[in-house]
Amino acid sequence: MMRFVLTIAALLSTALPALADVKIQEITTPGGTHVWLQEDHSIPFVALELRFRGGVSLEPADKAGATNLMVGLLEEGAGDLNARAFARRLEELAASFGYRAYDDAISISARFLTENQDQSLALLRDSLIAPRFDADAVERVRGQVLSGLKSDETDPDSIAGRAFDKLVYGAHPYGRGRQGTIETVAALTRDDLIKVFKGAFARDRVYVSLVGDITPAQAAKTVDALLADMPEVGAPMAGPAALNLTKGITVVDFDTPQSVVMFAQPGIKRDDPDFFAAFVLDLILGGGSFESRLMHEVREKRGLTYGINTYLLAKDQAQLWAGSVASANEKVAETISVIRDEWQKLRDNGVSEAELRDAKTYLTGSYPLRFDGNGTIANILVGMQMQGWPADYIATRNDRVNAVTLDDVNRVAIRLLDPEALRFVVVGKPVGLDGVSN
């Protein structure tokens, strides 16, 4: 990991001032909405981020894909403007809007010039309060979604993701896939879209951040105007997911020379006192670094793959310690064996002082590099709110990482790493695997 540490150290001097300049103001609007604001009057530009908790997990089982389709239609006409007129107006204002659906949230991103703020926000408000869902737009976007779903049927990564979610989450909404299926999407009606729209956007689940050329008073006025007429309460949240994670391998037969592998065991909540120790431990195990143990053992030492990674996945209703790798069919069995061995070794023997030091240096050094623009910062701020971090988290995050001790990491390895709960889903034609073919 040392070469990464040296690279981060070289960049740190230019990145730290940007990090130090992030000063969050917490505002409660007259309408009662909590807002995080970072003022930056250096350029006449504002970035706005909205998150509505719930997302795809709110939709009924027989309407899978409705939220994804609905969100894809929010910029396809609103109020008095059809899709073409809406796009033309957005271009005239030199603004940009982004709408995305996730398992636990719907994200709305807006970027606009200060001089066009009122007009831009009025247009954004129309898309959130009065989307048109015109028949021609519905069929056009539906066609795009169906095309993507058909393409996914021949993509090993997509097949692996769907099989993994279905196995791990079962009947929970997380197990259905964000885009639904060809059958469910084809059957969706305009009334279905309106229903999920009304349940998804409500004031009881909204998180807001603004970064840029705007004052606290302007921000409060802006947010209240934007959310006016929105329902107070949305659809009920999904309950916890019961994880189906037991030691074993599930094989999905697919004709491809390289198998895709996803694997997971139970994870850890973000508010757990051991989260940061697990976060550091994950980097050492396989969390995105070329110097991780899995990268060294699977790629560099044995040449079984071009890359392997692990990550802590903390959803609202489920937590996983997961990873993925791709390997030639004849090498998959060995790859899985090495992963299991490294999982067990780390649990039994812990990490070294040098591994811990390098991991902490990498994590603390790379963190300031994330704050590279108003839009990125706004996105980070709203994410912090949803995850329950305090407003001073940016200033204290590296202290939390540095506070992790060798005893902490090795204790958490024993507490959390569980080779007996490590489940693999393999898509391909792997050689020498005893699995359950689906």
Q: Which of 197, 227, 257 lies at the terminal end of a domain, its last residue?
A: 227
Q: Is residue 334 part of a domain?
A: yes
Q: Is residue 106 part of a domain?
A: yes
Termini Cα distance of the chain: 39
Query: Would the pLDDT of 436 be above 60?
Result: no
Do 194 and 71 lie in one domain? The reply is yes
Q: How far is Cα 325 from Cα 310, in angstroms, rounded to an integer? A: 9
Q: Is residue 16 part of a domain?
A: no
Instruction: Name the band, by pLDDT with cuts 50, 70 and 90, for residue 434.
Output: low
Q: Which of 227, 257, 273 lies at the terminal end of a domain, its last residue?
A: 227
| Beta-strand relationship, 81-82 and 77-78 | antiparallel
Do 210 and 279 lie in one domain? The reply is no
Mean of the per-residue pLDDT values of the chain? 93
pLDDT in tens, 17-66: 455 578 899 999 999 999 999 999 999 999 999 999 999 999 999 999 99
CATH number at residue 300: 3.30.830.10
Instruction: Name the band, by pLDDT with cuts 50, 70 and 90, for residue 291.
Output: confident
Q: Which of 167, 198, 227 lies at the terminal end of a domain, its last residue?
A: 227
Do 219 and 255 lie in one domain? The reply is no
Q: Is the pTM of this model over 0.85?
A: yes
Do 30 and 152 lie in one domain? The reply is yes
Closest CA to 173 of 264, 72, 59: 59
Do 121 and 256 lie in one domain? The reply is no
Q: Is residue 1 part of a domain?
A: no
Q: Is residue 321 part of a domain?
A: yes
Do 166 and 311 lie in one domain? The reply is no
Do 338 and 417 lie in one domain? The reply is yes
Q: What single-letter amino acid sits at 372?
A: D
Do 92 and 187 lie in one domain? The reply is yes
Q: Give the chain as a 3 state SS string.
A: CHHHHHHHHHHHHHHHHHHHCCCCEEEECCCCCEEEEEECCCCCEEEEEEEEECHHHHCCHHHCCHHHHHHHCCCCEECCEEHHHHHHHHHHCCCEEEEEECCCEEEEEEEEEHHHHHHHHHHHHHHHHCECCCHHHHHHHHHHHHHHHHHHCCCHHHHHHHHHHHHHHCCCHHHCCCCCCHHHHHHCCHHHHHHHHHHHCCHHHEEEEEEECCCHHHHHHHHHHHHCCCCCCCCCCCCCCCCCCCCEEEEEECCCCEEEEEEEEECCCCCCCCHHHHHHHHHHHCCCCCCCHHHHHHHHCCCCCCCEEEEEEECCCCEEEEEEEEEEHHHHHHHHHHHHHHHHHHHHHCCCHHHHHHHHHHHHHHHHHHCCCHHHHHHHHHHHHHHCCCCCHHHHHHHHHHCCCHHHHHHHHHHHCCHHHCEEEEEECCCCCCCEEC
Average pLDDT over residues 82-99: 97
Do 132 and 171 lie in one domain? The reply is yes
Q: Is residue 365 part of a domain?
A: yes
Q: Is residue 89 part of a domain?
A: yes
Do 222 and 121 lie in one domain? The reply is yes
Average pLDDT over residues 185-190: 98
Do 219 and 257 lie in one domain? The reply is no
Average pLDDT over residues 81-103: 97
Tell me how many domains the chain contains. Answer: 2
Q: Is residue 123 part of a domain?
A: yes
pLDDT in tens, 402-421: 999 999 999 999 999 999 99
For residue 157, the enclosing domain spans: 22-227
Average pLDDT over residues 330-347: 97
Query: Would the pLDDT of 297 be above 70?
Result: yes
Do 219 and 280 lie in one domain? The reply is no
Query: Would the pLDDT of 8 be above 70?
Result: no
